[in-house]
């Protein structure tokens, strides 16, 4: 009998029965693959349905994305292209090109009282990868991490992948999602190895005051706990000032900062992020990056260094545009009686409490999509304390936001 082609489980069964064919290989996978693919509830269900509707020709408005709608500023693109043309297309050091590490270090030196050296910086392909690498180097499976919620949805697969024990602290939802320092301290146990915070916050748009970060940093240092702070929205503050963990802390021993260019420079697809941390951690991140990345593309790092070193006018322009969009949405939805939007001080999102409609965030988001073809993210995607909220993204231009607000008003009036 010739070779047996096996195309399905049923075919495999019959082939095995009648041909004497015995499968030689039973695939087995590492448990991390199960954890990574674990059902993260239906975080993206509304968004996915919106995309499906769009493919079917419906006029859907997507407020469920956090990808900047702006083009990457032209000078950065030109810079990357020119570096491509001169052959910057080779391997690069695992920790990143020294020019970019220095550019990040200079930025940190400008924004904190501590001078920063390139040996405190590691470059990764995006903040997501920087966070994964950092937590991989700080925590073993089963170790405890404390994190406030609502939190960025992207943290969940990272925590799951690394098999961490996650203890969450609810933010003060009715108080603009502020962080209650004493609640965080009460959640930290003698098993906690990392306190993970995010300021300015996604989805909340809240900025953690420098004094609170300082207090937590000291509290953690006294207990041998790392403070890891994700600051990817640092350049989009509208009121109040973002003060980095590095600038807030009294000592840098236990401070790790994550940032990147995805949001600030509309470079989400370029994949550039970084870690700023004590050199001992950076060395370990170097080994980790050597094993997993073997360097990020040279021409992208060249253009990223250029982006950080040169005039930040385009960053200010994007920030001002997001602020206008935020103000517009708050103004229009502020007139809708049965929803109440929190005022984000930073970032790209507006959180709306929809409980007065009689719906929770999930039902509201599902019905808003069905009835008015507007896609938002249900608050419970970010944590249980935001279950009565939906998150609206500001990564759409004014005319789209205008139509979206109108549809939301019509939807709310009909409830």
Ligand X SMILES: Cc1ncc(COP(=O)(O)O)c(C=O)c1O
Binding mask 18-57 for ligand X (x = CB under 6 A): ----------------------------------------
Tell how strand 389-393 and strand 226-230 pair up.
unpaired
Binders of ligand X in range 204-233 (CB under 6 A): 230, 232
Residue of 72, 198, 199, 264 that binds ligand X (CB under 6 A): 198
- Closer Cβ to ligand X, 187 or 202, answer by number: 202
The residue written with tokens 């949405």 in the block is 329
Q: How far is the CB of 176 from ligand X (least distance, A)?
A: 17
Stretch that binds ligand X, among 41-49, 124-132, 174-182, 337-345 (CB under 6 A): 124-132
**What does the block give as tokens for 301?**
């790092």
Nearest to 95 by CA among 270, 288, 306: 288
Residue 152 interacts with ligand X (CB under 6 A): yes or no: yes
Q: How far is the CB of 77 from ligand X (least distance, A)?
A: 18
Residue of 94, 128, 254, 396 that binds ligand X (CB under 6 A): 128
Task: State the distance between the two ends of the chain, measured CA to CA, in whole angstroms.
Answer: 68
β-strand partners of 275: 122, 258
- With CB under 6 A, what is the number of residues at the site for ligand X? 14
Q: How far is the CB of 322 from ligand X (least distance, A)?
A: 14
| CB distance 59 to 373 below 8 Å | yes
- Closer Cβ to ligand X, 64 or 192, answer by number: 64
Residue 66 interacts with ligand X (CB under 6 A): yes or no: yes
Number of H helices, E strands in the chain: 15, 13
Round to whole Å and give the CA distance between 141 and 296: 27
Residue of 192, 254, 262, 301 that binds ligand X (CB under 6 A): 262
Provide the 10 A C-beta neighbour count for residue 296: 26
Round to whole Å and give the CA distance between 188 and 145: 9
Environment class of 307 (CB within 10 Å of its CB; exposed 0-12, middle 13-18, buried 19+): buried
Stretch that binds ligand X, among 111-119, 126-134, 247-255, 299-307 (CB under 6 A): 126-134
Binding mask 97-116 for ligand X (x = CB under 6 A): --------------------
- Closer Cβ to ligand X, 12 or 65, answer by number: 65
Stretch that binds ligand X, among 89-97, 123-131, 336-344, 369-377 (CB under 6 A): 123-131
Identify the sign of the CA torsion 217, 220, 226, 232.
negative
Nearest to 252 by CA among 288, 212, 214, 284: 214
Round to whole Å and give the CA distance between 169 and 413: 35
Residue 273 interacts with ligand X (CB under 6 A): yes or no: yes
| CB distance 257 to 88 below 8 Å | no
Residue 383 interacts with ligand X (CB under 6 A): yes or no: no
Which residues contact ligand X by CB under 6 A?
Answer: 66, 126-128, 152, 154, 198, 202, 230, 232, 260, 262, 268, 273
């Amino acid at each position: 009998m010739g070779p047996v082609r096996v195309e399905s489980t049923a075919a495999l069964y019959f082939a095995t029965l009648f041909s004497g064919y015995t499968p030689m290989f039973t695939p087995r996978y590492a448990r991390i693959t199960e954890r990574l693919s674990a059902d993260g509830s239906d975080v993206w269900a509304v968004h996915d349905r919106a995309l499906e509707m769009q493919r079917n020709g419906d006029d859907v408005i997507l407020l469920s994305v956090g990808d900047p709608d702006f083009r990457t500023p032209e000078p950065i693109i030109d810079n990357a292209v020119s570096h491509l043309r001169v052959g910057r297309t080779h391997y690069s050091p695992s920790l990143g090109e020294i020019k970019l590490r220095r550019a990040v270090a200079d930025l940190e030196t400008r924004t904190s009282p501590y001078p920063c050296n390139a040996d405190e910086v590691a470059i990764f392909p995006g903040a997501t990868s920087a966070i994964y690498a950092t937590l991989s180097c700080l925590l073993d499976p089963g170790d405890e991490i404390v994190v406030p919620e609502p939190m960025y949805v992207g943290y969940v697969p990272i925590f799951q992948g690394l098999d961490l024990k996650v203890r969450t602290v609810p933010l003060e939802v009715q108080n603009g999602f502020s962080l209650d320092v004493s609640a965080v301290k009460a959640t930290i146990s003698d098993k906690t190895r990392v306190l993970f915070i995010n300021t300015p916050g996604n989805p909340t748009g809240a900025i953690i005051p420098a004094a609170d970060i300082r207090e937590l940093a000291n509290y953690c240092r006294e207990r041998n706990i790392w403070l890891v702070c994700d600051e990817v929205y640092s350049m989009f503050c509208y009121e109040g000032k973002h003060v980095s963990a590095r600038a807030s802390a009294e000592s840098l021993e236990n401070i790790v900062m994550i940032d990147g260019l995805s949001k600030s420079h509309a470079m989400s697809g370029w994949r550039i992020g970084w870690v700023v941390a004590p050199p001992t951690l950076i060395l370990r991140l170097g080994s980790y990056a050597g094993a997993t990345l073997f360097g990020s593309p040279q021409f992208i790092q060249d253009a990223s260094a250029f982006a950080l070193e040169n005039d930040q006018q385009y960053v200010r322009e994007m920030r001002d545009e997001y602020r206008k969009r935020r103000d517009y949405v708050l103004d229009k939805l502020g007139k809708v009686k049965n929803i109440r939007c929190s005022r984000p001080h930073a970032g790209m999102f507006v959180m709306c409490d929809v409980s007065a409609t009689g719906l929770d965030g999930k039902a509201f988001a599902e019905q808003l999509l069905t009835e008015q073809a507007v896609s938002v993210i249900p608050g419970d995607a970010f944590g249980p304390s935001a279950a009565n909220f939906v998150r609206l993204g500001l990564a759409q231009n004014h005319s789209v936001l205008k139509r979206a607000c109108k549809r939301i008003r019509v939807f709310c009036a009909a409830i």
